[in-house]
Structure 1
Amino acid sequence: MKTIATAKITTDVRPEAFFERWADMATWPEWNTDTAWVRLDTPFRAGATGALKPKGGPVTRFVVSALVPGREFTDVSLLFGARLTFQHLVGVDEHGTTVTVRVTLAGPLAFLWNVILGKDIAKGLDGDLARLEAAARAAGVPA
């Protein structure tokens, strides 16, 4: 498995506001600039499946591999010969809410997908997380 990008923020926005934004996948293009659209086949929960359309890329199937409200949301895009995983971890301490996003690639063709996608994902991840924070703030009340 290869980590291709990591982003982290600490904010006063409550953790639930992030999970509300992640669960409302139809709004992902508002904060994720590389995404044209996202659709879930089933309700937002561990094991849910769906499809997303990256801008300039083909429709990609994904699965919600982990969902622990207030703590973790992980989705895995099923690429040909590889799995692209976005792990979103949320923690709360005396400084506020910390959100960490880690993107990894695994599988026999991970090296190829890293060449195709890696630089753009790494370049855009901090901005996407900042826009997600703004969307979560606009939709919710700070902690």
Structure 2
Amino acid sequence: MFATIADVDSWNKWDVDLEFTRMDGAAQVGAGFILKPRGGPRIKIFIEEFQTPARFVDVAQLPLAKMRTVHEFIQSGRRTTIRVTIQTWGPLGFFWRKIVAEKQIRSAAAQTAAFVAYARERFQHGDV
């Protein structure tokens, strides 16, 4: 699972709301990338935490706000629980929570199912 979230350039293969994501170099703390949502502007994002295989945290630089997305992969035997947390803050944090974060929350179940299906496909083909 972690290898799939760390492959930032492939996010649009499992997230239908993205046109593309583009990262120059390896995914690591401090690395930046561009995310382009369908119908939206390009967004600059930085990786804040990168703890293989359990935690991937990025922070989006939005106008007058920031949005942190935390992906946690919690192992228990042969099962993995995926927990996604979204935080917004800044002068327009409430605005971005309404138009971006709440939409992500509403689509979280479908997006997580697509992510898991893509991760399984990669694993079966030996891509991870």
Relative to the length of structure 1, the TM-score reads 0.81
Per-residue CA distance 1:52-111 (angstroms, 9 max, x = gap): 101111000000000000110011111011111110111111361111111111111101
Distance 2:96 2:74 in 1: 30
Distance 1:106 1:41 in 2: 27
Aligned positions, number: 124
Q: How does 1:108-123 map to 2 (within 5 A)?
A: 108-123=91-106
Larger relative contact order, structure 1 or 2 (CA cutoff 8 Å, min sep 6): 1
CA distance in 2, matches of 1:114, 1:41: 28
2:67 aligns with 84
- Aligned residues with identical type, % of pairs: 28
Q: Secondary structure at the match of 1:140?
A: helix
The runs of 5 or more residues in structure 2 that have no matched partner are: none
- Could you tell me how far apart the structure 2 residues matched to 1:121 and 1:110 are? 15
The runs of at least 4 consecutive aligned structure 1 residues that moved more than 6 Å come to none
SS state at 1:132 partner: helix
1:70 and 2:53 aligned: yes
CA–CA separation in structure 2 for the residues paired with 1:91 and 1:122: 19
- Judge conservation of contact 1:61–1:78 (CA < 8 Å) in 2: yes
Contact 1:42 1:50 in 2 (8 A): no
Maintained 8 Å contact 2:73/2:83: yes
**TM-score between both structures, scaled by the size of structure 2:** 0.89
RMSD, aligned α-carbons: 1.4
Do the aligned partners of 2:74 and 2:80 also contact (CA within 8 Å) in 1?
A: yes
* Corresponding residue number in structure 2 for 1:24: 7
Runs of at least 5 residues in structure 1 that lack an aligned partner in the other structure: 1-17
> Is 2:86 the counterpart of 1:99?
no
